[in-house]
Structure 1
Amino acid sequence: MSNKSKIQRLILYRIALIHFKSMGFQRIFSYNIAGEVGVSPEQVRKDFSEFNIRGNKKAGYEISELLSNFDRIFQKDKTHHVILVGMGNIGSALANYQGFRNSGIFIKAAFDKDITRAKGDVVVPLYPLENLSNFVKSNRVKIAILAVPFEAAQSVANLLIDSGIKGIMNFTYANLRVPDDVYVKYVSLTNTLESLIFLTNQNDSEE
Structure 2
Amino acid sequence: MIGKNQFNSVYRLHLYRKALQRLKQMGFVRVFSDNMADAAGVTPTQVRRDFASFGLTGQKRGGYSVQDLLANLDVTLGKERPQNAVVLGVGNIGHALLNYRGFTTAGIRVVAGFDSDPRKIDAKAAVPVLPLEKLRDFVNKNETRVAILAVPEDQAQAVFDLMIRAGIQGVLNFAPLRLTSPNDDVVVHNIDVGLEIEKILYLVNQMNKE
Q: Does the alignment reach a TM-score above 0.5?
A: yes
What is the CA-CA distance between 1:108 and the residue it aligns to? 2.0
Q: Which residue of 2 aligns with 1:153?
A: 156
Q: Which residue of 2 aligns with 1:110?
A: 113
What is the CA-CA distance between 1:157 and the residue it aligns to? 0.3
Amino acid at match of 2:48: R
Q: Please tell me whether residue 8 in structure 1 is matched to residue 34 in structure 2.
A: no
Q: Which residue of 2 aligns with 1:185?
A: 189
Maintained 8 Å contact 1:27/1:60 = yes
The alignment covers a number of residue pairs equal to: 205
CA distance in 2 between partners of 1:167 and 1:160 (Å): 10
CA distance in 2 between partners of 1:173 and 1:77 (Å): 33
Structure 1 segments of 4 or more deviating over 6 A? none
- The verdict on how the C-alpha distance between 1:145 and 1:22 changes in structure 2, with shifts beyond 3 A counting, is same
1:33 to 14, 17, 36: 36
**Correspondences of 1:77-92 after superposition (within 5 Å):** 77-92=80-95
What is the CA-CA distance between 1:21 and the residue it aligns to? 2.8
Secondary structure of 1:58's aligned partner:
coil
Amino acid at match of 2:186: V
1:58 to 52, 61, 66: 61
Amino acid at match of 1:54: T
* Alignment RMSD (CA, Å): 2.2
2:178 to 158, 167, 175: 175
Maintained 8 Å contact 1:92/1:122 = no
Q: Please tell me whether residue 198 in structure 1 is matched to residue 202 in structure 2.
A: yes
**Correspondences of 1:39-50 after superposition (within 5 Å):** 39-50=42-53
Maintained 8 Å contact 2:120/2:129 = no
Query: Which consecutive unaligned segments of at least 5 residues does structure 2 have?
Result: none
CA distance in 1 between partners of 2:101 and 2:42 (Å): 32
What is the CA-CA distance between 1:182 and the residue it aligns to? 1.0
- The verdict on how the C-alpha distance between 1:20 and 1:135 changes in structure 2, with shifts beyond 3 A counting, is closer
TM norm structure 2: 0.86
CA distance in 1 between partners of 2:23 and 2:143 (Å): 38
CA distance in 1 between partners of 2:18 and 2:104 (Å): 18
Query: Which consecutive unaligned segments of at least 5 residues does structure 1 have?
Result: none
Q: Please tell me whether residue 20 in structure 1 is matched to residue 35 in structure 2.
A: no
Deviations 1:79-117 (A, max 9, x none): 211121111111111112222222332222211111313
What is the CA-CA distance between 1:38 and the residue it aligns to? 4.1
- The verdict on how the C-alpha distance between 1:97 and 1:122 changes in structure 2, with shifts beyond 3 A counting, is farther
1:143 to 142, 146, 154: 146
- The verdict on how the C-alpha distance between 1:200 and 1:125 changes in structure 2, with shifts beyond 3 A counting, is same
- The verdict on how the C-alpha distance between 1:65 and 1:141 changes in structure 2, with shifts beyond 3 A counting, is same
User: Identity over the aligned pairs, expressed in percent?
Assistant: 42
